[in-house]
Structure 1
Amino acid sequence: MAPPVVTVLLPARNAEATVARAVESLLEGTLSDLRVLAVDDGSTDGTRGVLQGLAARDARVEVLDGGGQGLVAALQLALRHATSPYVARMDADDEALPRRLEASIQALEADSHLAGVGTRIELFREDRPVSPSLQAYADWLNRLTTVEALVRERFIESPLCHPSVCLRREVLLATGGWEHGDFPEDYALWMKLLHAGYGLRNLPEVLLRWRDSSGRLTRTDPRYDVKRFTWVKARYLACGPLAGGRPCTVWGAGPSGLALTRFLREEGATVERLVDVHPRKVGTRIHDIPVVSPEVLGPPGQGLLVVCVGVRWAREEIRADLTARGWVEGVDYLCAA
């Protein structure tokens, strides 16, 4: 039997209440040539029984035993069982809209440069309103519908919603796919693929309903702490835009900027200056790095300016200021918060 066009990797742990709808939303989609590899990752509720019931009713569903080894191990296990040219992700508490897989495959087949695509997302939860900070993140992510926009914004936050993505299996195998570590596995994968020269983008359609819940791994697992994201940013800044000893200036002497500065120096990068607007900081030295005001930045030079200011609205003000001075984003400066 020929392999299906796409295999969906769906890890599940204690998702008895939601996993049936997640799987059914895939099976009911406009693309029927698929396989769902559902990994029961050590559930202690009725998740395994729900998955086995789905598999008994539809041969496109197969249940694997993840043994409670965690998300990355479950993804690696499912990837080893996948034979299709495309691999999609899905979480056990989300819902795929009908055209999700069909539109993703069409986009990948139309552009061989793309390693994968995500989709625009719609947040939902039943118990209370969606978190405003998560909604702001979704609004930002939903604007990254071109390769150029995603590359420009890649150091700000994770530019793809993990359960919305569809990827080329050969690219995952060639690059090693998801990796274990004390860091967010999805963001690390996107950065690795971009660093390798592949393209990524989000489709302009909302094709995934992404559940906001208090038990999200991003809220409960230390691997998704903001400092671990910052470490990934520093790692790929150091081996990418700052490779070859290119020095940098970090705009932001607050917690975000100082955390990035520390990680950059640990990665061997040279941070020559910190920029800040606070009068008590300007003219001082922090970690033996001089703090200067934006007015003394001057024209762009050989170094890279990394804007790392934690206040969201400040990013656009800084961009406008730098553009007015002749700085070019992606060449002279990058935003990293």
Structure 2
Amino acid sequence: MSRPGISVTMPCYNCGETVARALDSLLAQTRTDFEILAANDGSTDNTAGILAEYACRDSRVRVLSLEHGGVIHAANAAIRASRGRYVARMDADDEALPERLAEQAALLDSRPDIGLAGCLVRFGGDRQKCAGYAHYVDWTNTLLDHEAISLNRFVEFPVPNPSIMFRRECLEQYGPYRDGDFPEDYELFLRWLDQGVRMAKANRELMIWNDPPTRLSRNHPRYDVNAFYRVKAEYLARWLERNNAHHPGVHILGSGRTARKRAEMLLDHGIRIVGLYDIDPRKIGKVVHGIRVRHRNDMPAPGSAFFLSYVGSRGARREIVDFLESMGHIPGRDFLAVA
């Protein structure tokens, strides 16, 4: 087979119940110059047999047989074996809609300034039972251009990892997934943005993101909330050093225990908390680490301080952003939402 235009990398571990559907969705793509690198990560179910069957049927399916080493090991093995100009990620329990590869490649073709392309995704779980995940998917679908993705990078992961396609040059310059006590997909995303990679999304629903109970983000300690905030603090501190005109001082919106615990992760990276603000009358006036909690109406004027909002409850984040903007504070210059 001649060199493909796109390589789809797909880690596979004990996914016998779903991988055929994922492969069928890829083999039904309208763009046909692609290869699928299915990295079998030492599966103990019937995954290997299914992959072998598909490889026999279609030469675009290439199977990598690995000893079990985890999703990072499998994902990077698939990346190393890939040959395409563009590299796409796919999970073995998701489905690509027919235009996915064509639309994302067209975005990269038409935008040489963009290094990574995402897309809108359809939530494939039960919206009532998994309301939090469904709301997260809906939120990601509102972030389309580089500015929105960049400004929201410290809230959550704005571009779902199974939906990405990127230029091979990004791998060569900034590296693949890293192993550690952090979510590898979010760390790669933050690292590439930190290095100046620009990102955007195809404004079309191109993937079904299923939400099975076995999804790693639900079960592995690498993906727990504290792991997200640890890696977030590292890259947020780097961003603040470059963009906060009042560095290293920051003012924190949200003085509750959870907000303070997450904000205090910045202290290990040289950031200094100089103000705390809340609207809860039970918290206003209290002294925390020598800082008196004040009402947010007493915040310094726009341009005179930098604020981080650590209030992440549903609806509260949007209300705080609206409040700050109504007072003349500009996102990215005067404040960031980070929860």
Normalised to the residue count of structure 2, the TM-score between the two structures is 0.95
Q: Does 1:311 align with 2:313?
A: yes
The answer (yes or no) to whether the contact 1:122–1:206 under 8 Å persists in 2 is yes
Question: Matched residue pairs, number?
Answer: 336
The answer (yes or no) to whether the contact 2:38–2:64 under 8 Å persists in 1 is yes
Query: Given residue 165 of structure 1, which amino acid in structure 2 is its aligned partner?
Result: I
Runs of 4+ in 1 over 6 A off after TM superposition: none
Aligned to 1:116: 116
Name the stretch that deviates more: 164-173 or 234-243.
234-243
Aligned to 2:161: 162
Shift of 1:262: 1.7
| Cα distance between partner residues in 2 of 1:130 and 1:96 | 23
Describe how 1:8-27 pairs up with structure 2 within 5 A.
8-27=8-27
Q: Structure 2 vs 1, CA of residues 53 and 130 (structure 1 numbering), >3 Å: closer, same or farther?
A: farther
Q: Does 1:323 align with 2:325?
A: yes
Q: Does 1:259 align with 2:258?
A: no
Could you give the per-residue CA deviations for residues 241-286 of structure 1, whole angstroms, max 9, x where no partner exists?
Answer: 2348431111111244213222100111111112112222222222
Aligned to 2:64: 64
Shift of 1:302: 4.4
Q: Does 1:85 align with 2:55?
A: no
Describe how 1:244-283 pairs up with structure 2 within 5 A.
245-283=247-285
Shift of 1:129: 4.7
Identity %: 38
Could you give the per-residue CA deviations for residues 169-216 of structure 1, whole angstroms, max 9, x where no partner exists?
Answer: 111121012111111111111111111111112221111011111111
| Cα distance between partner residues in 1 of 2:257 and 2:118 | 31
Q: Structure 2 vs 1, CA of residues 115 and 252 (structure 1 numbering), >3 Å: closer, same or farther?
A: same
Q: 2:294 aligns with which of 289, 292, 295?
A: 292
Query: Given residue 160 of structure 1, which amino acid in structure 2 is its aligned partner?
Result: V
> What do you get for the CA RMSD once the two structures are aligned?
1.6
| Cα distance between partner residues in 2 of 1:43 and 1:277 | 52
Q: Structure 2 vs 1, CA of residues 72 and 288 (structure 1 numbering), >3 Å: closer, same or farther?
A: farther
| Cα distance between partner residues in 2 of 1:255 and 1:216 | 29
| Cα distance between partner residues in 2 of 1:165 and 1:309 | 28
| Cα distance between partner residues in 2 of 1:333 and 1:42 | 46
Q: 1:197 aligns to what SS in structure 2?
A: coil
| Cα distance between partner residues in 1 of 2:260 and 2:171 | 33
Q: Structure 1 stretches of 5 or more lacking a match? A: none
Aligned to 1:40: 40
Normalised to the residue count of structure 1, the TM-score between the two structures is 0.96
| Cα distance between partner residues in 1 of 2:229 and 2:277 | 18
| Cα distance between partner residues in 1 of 2:173 and 2:258 | 34
Q: Structure 2 stretches of 5 or more lacking a match? A: none
